[in-house]
Structure 1
């Protein structure tokens, strides 16, 4: 039962991250060059496939053994989460850029 709850939480988190990522991409005002770079960056991180629970566990084990490529893959796969968290602070005194 606990495993099912964890899978549900991961899927729910991923759906929320995708929704928030799309909200960040939608703007109607003309963009400054730096905003275009942010849009490009968001599109690029959106192309990185999400990890399954099993993949995360396997990468974590490899990271503990010092595998730098596993560390990079884990970081890249979680950039959506980073953007999602950063978005929560948008408008609170710190610019997104």
Structure 2
């Protein structure tokens, strides 16, 4: 991912709030997808910036959920493999699911 279009913004004329610091990111998306997103934002009464933030938030949440599921599954497979070898040492063979 090219990061040359990422930069932090600072504003001195805005009052101090407890909102998070914002970072502006420039990237490209297919024109039809962008136009569809803007049409959706207009229908929902959102400003384009609100729509983009929502996409980032929901997209990140979906990505993080997928990563977490893969990590949990990896740990479970490792535990099952260990359990299988422990049972084999005791002379117990795992049952087939067939």
Scaled by the length of structure 2, what TM-score is found? 0.31
Q: Relative contact order: is structure 1 or structure 2 higher (C-alpha 8 Å, sep ≥ 6)? A: 1
More helix by share: 1
Higher CA-based Rg: 2
Scaled by the length of structure 1, what TM-score is found? 0.32
More strand by share: 2
